[in-house]
């Protein structure tokens, strides 16, 4: 199984140990199958005591082997799951894109990816068990060998077909799941407006249709998994039956002794058992590979630069606009980015901050604190103090002075212990934006990015924000706006054209 380079550092070691363990376990299982044949032969030749004791030993060894493998798998899965969970913070460092796999699905992806060593062990066991064909040839000759190899070869294209179908449906399912999640949140957010228009059933019916489609895709995926399982069961039964028939004729004709005949049948059964286990987990292995891809955080477009340069762009081309941008922002600079709506101003800001991939050129940013404020910036459900301080022990007077400087006065902003609703419901857009700006300023950033927020502020609010920013001459400010700068007096100006 190919590994992504950003897996936990010890994952490669786990996979190597899984391969070694799987190969050794498979060789031991084949040896135990041969010992079982010897034990059954002893019983058949009236040496019951020796045969029974040998069978008991074989069963005990199989139990120890299975228990040991299960314990190893659980311990390995638990360790990798813990490491993946600690790496989740990297996924929260950038905003989610439209249609991207839901962040809630990352918990499922962690469970799937953490099982990759156990699945790799099954793959190694299945590959090593193919050595059993040489044992079958030694024990029963070329005909059972041909039967076994032929039926194994028949399974390969069927697995590949099932794998392609499973991968295609998994992609469709994730897309439908993301659409359903986004649509549900959108309808819930606008439920009051829909209710006022008498159109609640519209949103409910649309969500119902998407949910039904998701359910249908899930059932189709289950059918594909069952088809793969039935393939292994059918081919395994046919192979064991044909080999048993051939060795039976060999026993009747005196060409084989009982030990060799039993070895051929039991080794064939063990060989297909190993392949069947791997085949049954075929789709889990595919899910684990997809999960590894989902868990790899998107590469940031900007690189950290510990210098007086806070933000830098050199021949930068973004995903949204083919225009070339050159920009350097240093402490105290006031930079404005203008251009019509939809031209790519927000994408440029996200690219400079490392939240989007670059199309061409280079982007750098400081490793110091940066505040980002937009109309879509979120407030959390919790107290006003928690939203502004984010758990940092700030002086209440400093918090109150910051709010007052931004024009946030009145009863709602006096008590810092007052509870805010999720997403700041009950506050106006201008108040929410200024609360986010206050949160940014209280974290003492080196740079504040204002993403087209002046339009939701009235004249008094804009004046308060301008006055506050003017009182912080060492703070760099980068403002994106449709036409003219409204909150800063620009020292640099960049115009984005369509």
Q: Supply the pLDDT for residue 8.
A: 46
Residue given tokens 């400087």 in the structure block: 405
- Tokens in use for 445? 């950033």
Q: How many residues does the chain have?
A: 498
User: Contact, 345 vs 325, CB < 8 A?
Assistant: no
Q: What is d(CA 424, CA 437) in angstroms, rounded to the nearest whole number?
A: 14
Question: Please, what is the average pLDDT of the chain?
Answer: 80
State the first-to-last Cα distance of the chain, in angstroms, to the nearest integer.
45
Domain-wise residue ranges, the chain? 11-295, 302-495
Mean pLDDT along residues 250-256: 84
Assigned fold of 11-295:
ABC transporter transmembrane region fold (1.20.1560)
- Tokens in use for 81? 């799951």
List, in sequence order, the alpha helices (H) in 45-131: 48-86, 106-113, 116-129
Select the more confidently predicted residue: 145 or 95. Answer: 145
Q: What is d(CA 111, CA 244) in angstroms, rounded to the nearest whole number?
A: 41
Select the more confidently predicted residue: 432 or 81. Answer: 432
Into which CATH architecture does domain 302-495 fall? 3-Layer(aba) Sandwich (3.40)
Output the pTM of the full model.
0.57
Please check the confidence at residue 107 and state whether its pLDDT lies above 90.
no
pLDDT band at 4 (very low <50, low <70, confident <90, very high): very low
For the stretch 43-83, pLDDT in tens is 887 777 888 899 899 999 999 999 999 899 888 888 888 87
């Amino acid at each position: 199984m190919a590994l992504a380079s950003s897996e936990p550092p010890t994952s490669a070691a786990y996979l190597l140990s899984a391969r070694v363990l799987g190969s050794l376990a498979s060789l031991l299982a084949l040896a135990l199958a041969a010992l079982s044949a010897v034990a059954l032969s002893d019983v058949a030749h009236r040496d019951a005591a020796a045969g029974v004791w040998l069978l008991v030993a074989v069963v005990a060894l199989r139990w120890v082997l299975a228990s040991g493998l299960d314990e190893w798998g659980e311990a390995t899965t638990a360790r990798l799951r813990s490491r993946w969970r600690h790496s989740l913070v990297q996924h929260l460092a950038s905003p989610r894109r439209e249609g991207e796999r839901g962040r809630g699905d990352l918990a499922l992806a962690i469970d799937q990816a953490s099982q990759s060593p156990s699945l790799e062990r099954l793959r190694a066991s299945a590959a090593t068990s193919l050595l059993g064909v040489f044992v079958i040839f030694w024990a029963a000759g070329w005909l059972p060998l041909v039967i076994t190899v032929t039926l194994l070869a028949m399974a390969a294209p069927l697995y590949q077909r099932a794998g392609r179908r499973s991968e295609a449906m998994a992609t469709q399912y994730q897309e439908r799941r993301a659409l359903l999640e986004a649509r549900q949140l959108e309808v819930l957010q606008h439920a009051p407006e829909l209710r006022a228009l008498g159109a609640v059933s519209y949103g409910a019916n649309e969500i119902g249709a998407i949910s039904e489609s998701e359910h249908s895709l899930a059932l189709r995926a289950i059918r594909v998994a069952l088809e793969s399982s039935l393939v292994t069961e059918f081919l395994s039964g046919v192979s064991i039956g044909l080999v048993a028939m051939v060795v039976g004729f060999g026993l009747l004709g005196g060409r084989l002794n009982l030990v060799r005949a039993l070895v051929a049948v039991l080794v064939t059964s063990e060989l297909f058992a190993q392949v069947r286990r791997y085949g049954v987990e075929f789709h889990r292995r595919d899910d684990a590979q997809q999960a590894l891809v989902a868990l790899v955080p998107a590469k940031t477009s900007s690189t950290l630069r510990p210098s007086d340069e806070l933000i830098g762009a050199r021949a930068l081309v973004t995903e949204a606009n083919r225009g070339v941008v050159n920009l350097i922002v240093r402490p105290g600079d006031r930079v404005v980015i203008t251009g019509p709506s939809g031209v790519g101003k927000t994408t440029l800001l996200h690219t400079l901050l490392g939240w989007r991939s670059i199309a061409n050129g280079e982007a750098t940013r400081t490793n110091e604190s940066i505040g980002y404020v937009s109309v879509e910036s979120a407030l959390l459900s919790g107290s006003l103090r928690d939203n502004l301080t984010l758990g940092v022990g700030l002086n209440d007077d400093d918090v109150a002075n910051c709010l007052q400087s931004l024009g946030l006065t009145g009863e709602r902003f006096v008590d810092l212990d007052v509870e805010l609703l999720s997403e700041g419901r009950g506050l106006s857009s201008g108040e929410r934006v200024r609360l986010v700006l206050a949160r940014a300023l209280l974290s003492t950033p080196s740079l504040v990015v204002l993403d087209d927020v002046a339009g939701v502020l009235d004249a008094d609010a804009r004046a308060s924000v301008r006055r506050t920013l003017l009182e912080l001459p060492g703070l760099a400010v980068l403002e994106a706006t449709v036409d003219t700068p409204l909150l800063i007096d620009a020292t640099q100006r960049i115009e984005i054209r369509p």
